[in-house]
């Protein structure tokens, strides 16, 4: 698990002064990047070294339980829930104080350029180092990300 703090800015909110729903999905992406970094897998180096384009989202869901507004400091707990052959599932829980605001889930695929179709990607098996670094036995519960958004 990785924990990350997010300060909700005025521009993150809609006219009702609550966080615009799409911002949570942007934060999912930020928190996934932070989770990889905390696991010793900096994406900036990881993708080129494995000749992959990235880890695109193929499914994302969110259950909105309570609103957040500008000025709120959120705590996000991100965890790897499942590791498959070429994909993995990450869960994100957003808290304001002790109140759970949102539970999110995203499925991502380890993807490279398709060998014959330039406008497509192809799923590849997750490398052993990625599986080991993201698995429960190799991560430290509660490790905080060094890069928190303020």
Task: Output the domain CATH number for residue 18.
Answer: 3.10.129.10
Q: Quick check: is 150 in a domain?
A: no
**DSSP structure class, residue 18:** S
State the virtual CA torsion across 104, 107, 110, 114 in degrees, nearest 10. -130
Total domains present in the chain:
1
Taking the CB of residue 62, how many other CB atoms lie within 10 A of it?
16
Q: Which pair of structure tokens corresponds to residue 139?
A: 């991560």
Rounded CA separation 137/88 (Å): 16
Q: Quick check: is 69 in a domain?
A: yes
Q: Quick check: is 66 in a domain?
A: yes
Q: Is 48 left (phi over 0), alpha (psi -120 to 50) or beta?
A: alpha
Q: What is the pLDDT of residue 137?
A: 35
Q: Quick check: is 84 in a domain?
A: yes
Q: Quick check: is 137 in a domain?
A: yes
Q: Say which of 14, 29, 30, 136 is annotated catalytic.
A: 14
pLDDT tens for the chain, 150 residues: list them: 999 999 999 999 999 999 999 999 999 999 999 999 999 999 999 999 999 999 999 999 999 999 999 999 999 999 999 999 999 999 999 999 999 999 999 999 999 999 899 899 999 999 999 999 998 634 454 444 444 444
Q: Quick check: is 21 in a domain?
A: yes
Q: Quick check: is 134 in a domain?
A: yes
**What domain range is 55 assigned to?**
2-143
Per the annotation, the verdict on 14 as an active-site residue is yes
Q: Quick check: is 113 in a domain?
A: yes
Inter-residue contact 103 to 3 (CB < 8 Å): no
């Amino acid at each position: 698990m990785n924990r990350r703090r997010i300060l909700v800015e005025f521009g993150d909110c809609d006219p009702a002064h609550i966080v615009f729903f799409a911002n949570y999905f942007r934060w999912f992406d930020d928190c996934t990047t932070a989770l990889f970094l905390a696991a010793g897998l900096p994406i900036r180096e990881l993708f080129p070294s494995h000749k992959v384009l990235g880890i695109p989202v193929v499914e994302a869901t969110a259950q909105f339980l309570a609103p957040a507004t500008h000025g709120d400091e959120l705590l996000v707990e991100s965890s790897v829930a499942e590791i498959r052959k070429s994909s993995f599932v990450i869960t994100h829980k957003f808290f304001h104080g002790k109140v759970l605001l949102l539970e999110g889930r995203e499925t991502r695929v380890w993807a490279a350029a398709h060998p014959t179709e330039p406008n497509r990607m192809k799923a590849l098996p997750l490398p052993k180092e990625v599986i080991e670094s993201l698995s429960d036995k190799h991560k430290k519960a509660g490790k905080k990300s060094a890069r928190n958004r303020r």
